Amino acid sequence: MAPQEQGTRVEQLGQDEFQRLLREHLREAVRLALVAILEDEVAAFVGAGPYERTPGRRDRRNGHYTRDLGTGFGIIEDLAVPRTRQGFQTQVFERYHRRQAAVDQSIGEMFVRGVSTRGVGEVLEHLDSKSSASTVSRVFHRLEDEYAAWKNRPLAGRYRYAFADGTYFSVIYENEGCKMPILAVVGITEAGQRELLAFSVGDRENQTAWEELCEDLKRRGVKEVGLWVTDGHQAMLNALAAKFGAAPRQRCVKHKLDNVLDYIPHKQRDQVKPELKAIFYQDSRQQANQLAAAFCEKYAQSYPTAVACLKRDLDACLTFYDFPKAHWRTIRTSNVIERLFDEVKRRSRKMAAAFRNETSCLLMFYAVVRSLKLRRIPMPTGPSA
């Protein structure tokens, strides 16, 4: 949604549209309240908060699963429910269904008049009769504390692969939408586990912002990256060269294909695209080099600008051929991090108008990411690994 569309003032909305937006926000308010209560409940069950070490710990967290939940404001999709190794079972949903109307009414009033300790306490009383002032305070500060701990957690010394990219989220200031950039790095460990390593506010064209993000990774323990997968933003490339100069780089093939095809007339793209794409789907780098040379020779006269675009950083586009073939599909493009961005936006889209500052946007980004189960990739063994 464009900033000017998100910046539409409430008084300019039709009644139906206003009611629809209000229901969306109320539904998301129910989601946030339930997530906070679930996290407080599992912390009490485990005997420790996230990233907290205590001598009285009774269990360990084991990620999240998602479920849909019907509410008075519509269905909440993909609600993150915490799990533990010993099989934590929440009682929140049973209590919620028994008191749904009262809870929805309380959350609606809380949304309209603004969150207060007393208002939150009234909501929690419908779900947990043991709620106290300290519980109320913990519930609505837990996410911020957890995020602060997550940002400073130690990282592995080496990551097999790392994906760097940036995206934009809309933040509302004075009823006007503004684009706020977020830079992020996703790593794949030696065991094949995907992990969001860090994210921060910063323009993709700002080398200093990228260097600060890289420096943060090094401060928390990252010494080596086996391969960086990126698009072609020069500011990012300069920062990676300065902070991780020994690491090779894979230029996202998907972006390169789009860039080259931009210089081909639309009527001729159906003919050229399969030949161009084939360069990146060979059995070896030698075959890819031969096909690239043939492509350039064939189209040098007809599409010189497209050929020049292909030749620019072509070697970086073919780096993936030097790595295990089982990983080519994963490291050939920056899809790993772009899909993460897409999923965060999909799940947080209905809360976009609630991003009143960068802190609320960053917290929402973290809240969504922590509930995602990122798929492993198989790691080869032996000398070729």
Query: How many whole angstroms separate alpha carbon 211 and alpha carbon 321?
Result: 28
Average pLDDT for 287-312: 96
pLDDT tens, position by position, 333-371: 999 999 999 888 876 664 444 466 677 778 778 877 876
> Which residues neighbour 34 within 8 Å (Cβ) at sequence distance 6 or greater?
69, 76, 79, 92, 96
Identify which has the larger pLDDT, 369 or 260.
Answer: 260
Q: At 23, which helix (H) or strand (E)?
A: helix 15-46
Check pLDDT > 50 for residue 145: yes
Model pTM score:
0.67
Neighbouring C-beta atoms of residue 215, cutoff 10 Å: 13
> Which residues neighbour 130 within 8 Å (Cβ) at sequence distance 6 or greater?
none
Tokens of 107: 């959350």
Lowest mean pLDDT of 138-142, 143-147, 181-185, name the range.
138-142
Neighbouring C-beta atoms of residue 101, cutoff 10 Å: 10
pLDDT tens, position by position, 11-52: 344 455 545 665 676 777 777 777 877 887 888 888 777 766
172 confidence band (pLDDT: 50, 70, 90): low
Instruction: Give the whole-number percent of the chain exceeding pLDDT 90.
Output: 43
309 confidence band (pLDDT: 50, 70, 90): very high
Q: Are 86 and 93 in contact (CB under 8 A)?
A: no
Identify which has the larger pLDDT, 113 or 217.
Answer: 217
Identify which has the larger pLDDT, 42 or 176.
Answer: 42
Average pLDDT for 222-230: 97
324 confidence band (pLDDT: 50, 70, 90): very high
> Which residues neighbour 248 within 8 Å (Cβ) at sequence distance 6 or greater?
226, 227, 228, 319, 322
How many angstroms separate the Cα of 114 from the Cα of each of 81, 151, 165, 319?
A: 26, 28, 35, 53
Domains of the chain (ranges, CATH numbers): 3-151 (no CATH), 155-251+334-385 (3.30.420.10), 253-333 (no CATH)
Q: Are 136 and 323 in contact (CB under 8 A)?
A: no
In this structure, what are the phi and psi dihedrals at residue 203, rounded to the nearest 5 degrees?
-75, 140
> Which residues neighbour 98 within 8 Å (Cβ) at sequence distance 6 or greater?
none
Average pLDDT for 248-275: 95
By C-alpha distance, which of 78, 220, 239 is closest to 166? 239
Tokens of 60: 């360990």
Tokens of 277: 């794409």
Pairing label, strands 194-201, 176-188 = antiparallel
